[in-house]
Amino acid sequence: MSASRQAALASAGLVLTAALWGSMIPTIKIMLAVWDAYSVSALRFVIAAVILWGALLYVEKGKPLALDARHWKLGSMIAVFATFYTLGIAYSDLVTAALLSALGPFVTALLAWTIYREAPPKGFLVAIPFAVAGGVLASQGEGIGGGFGFRGGEIFLIICQMGWSTYTLTSQRWLKGVSQLRLTATTMIVAALLLTLFAALAMIAGVVPPLRLDPDPDALIALLWIGIFATTVGVYFWNRGVRALGAPMTSLYLNLIPVFAIAFGLMLDEKPTGLQMLGGVMVIGAVLQMQVRRLREHQGS
């Protein structure tokens, strides 16, 4: 398969991931009405781990998981991300949570340069201000979650960005040569184990109530959606995108999350404002110009 075709397929997978992750913020809010933040994180990753483990057993028959220190470190990065992400959503406005996803490219580019001295791809510095500004505009208004505001959970969302960016940067280097299915499955299984331990300890310590086993239908549907699609499918295509495009460029797709959040708002009869529409156009334009530059480089090589 040609490099340009691989890049195009990776981009399509990342757009799908952004759409699925755009649905997570309002969906997690539904789950938090029934379960605590620790349980929500554990439940969705347990579902994802079971699905990915089954897929790995089917595709790579007879091969053991062979978890080592690298998998446990990477899984702990995911666990940190998942815990603080859910806590951030629990204690912040929906719009603010969507807006802060626009910080992803900044965090990833900064960590890539700090840890690995990895220079950003051509056009990245041009795309960043447009993508972030578009993400900010796309998150404005009363359409999703009741408006913009700071409620204390924003620091958790920033911490979770650091955990996810570190996982994104290191997983492809530490597990180079393995399939994306194995990389995703092994690290997610470790994350599920750690998140389950966190939730159990929180319950034992009395920080959160015991797990409710009688959820209402909306919460159960939300859990299945997040566990099967947003977590399992989303993380798999994210890892494929990172391998094909690199972490800094892949992180730009995080700026599409507010755009898709608005789309989900439309499904709930929430109308976007003119600023939100303008923001969506800016985000899509920023990502597209990066892709055009990349395709031209491949065609010229």
Cα–Cα distance measured from residue 209 to residue 211, given in angstroms and rounded to the nearest whole number = 6
Judged by DSSP in three states, 250 sits in helix
Whole-number Å distance between alpha carbons of 228 and 46 = 10
Specify the number of domains making up the chain: 1
What is each CA distance from 246 to 171, 208, 236, 250, 291, in whole angstroms?
12, 39, 15, 6, 12
Please tell me what DSSP assigns to residue 103: G
How many Å apart are CA 115 and CA 35, to the nearest integer? Answer: 37
Q: Round to whole Å and give the CA distance between 144 and 157.
A: 18
245, 126 contact by CB (below 8 A): no
- What tens-digit pLDDT sequence spans the chain (301 residues)? 666 778 888 989 999 999 999 888 778 888 999 999 999 999 999 999 999 999 999 999 879 899 999 999 999 999 999 999 999 888 876 666 666 666 677 778 778 888 888 777 677 777 778 777 776 776 565 544 444 445 567 788 888 888 999 999 999 999 999 999 999 999 999 999 999 999 999 999 999 999 999 999 999 999 999 999 999 999 999 999 999 888 877 888 887 887 787 677 666 555 666 776 777 677 777 777 776 776 676 555 5
* pLDDT reported for residue 299: 58
Side-chain half-sphere exposure of 199, counting CA atoms within 13 A: 26
Q: How many helices (H) and strands (E) does the chain have?
A: 14, 0
Query: What is the rounded distance in angstroms from the CA atom of residue 146 to the CA atom of residue 84?
Result: 22
- The pLDDT assigned to 272 comes to 61
Residue 19's identity, in one-letter code, is A
Q: How open is the CA angle 199-203-207, to the nearest 5 degrees?
A: 100
Give the range of the structural domain holding residue 11, as residue numbers without chain letter.
3-300
- Give one DSSP letter per residue of the chain, joined into a string: --HHHHHHHHHHHHHHHHHHHHTHHHHHHHHHTTS-HHHHHHHHHHHHHHHHHHHHHHHSTT------HHHHHHHHHHHHHHHHHHHHHHTS-HHHHHHHGGGHHHHHHHHHHHHH--PPPTTHHHHHHHHHHHHHHHT-SSTTTT-----S-HHHHHHHHHHHHHHHHHHHHHTTTS-HHHHHHHHHHHHHHHHHHHHHHHHHTTSSPPPPS---HHHHHHHHHIIIIIIIIHHHHHHHHHHHH-HHHHHGGGGGHHHHHHHHHHHTTPPPPHHHHHHHHHHHHHHHHHHHHHHHHHHH-
Question: Which two tokens mark 202?
Answer: 């929180």
The amino acid occupying position 63 is K
Instruction: Report the alpha-carbon distance of residue 292 to residue 124 in Å, rounded.
Output: 12
pTM of the model: 0.83
Nearest Cα residue to 39 out of 208, 206, 292, 172: 208
Query: Are the C-beta atoms of 122 and 293 separated by less than 8 Å?
Result: yes
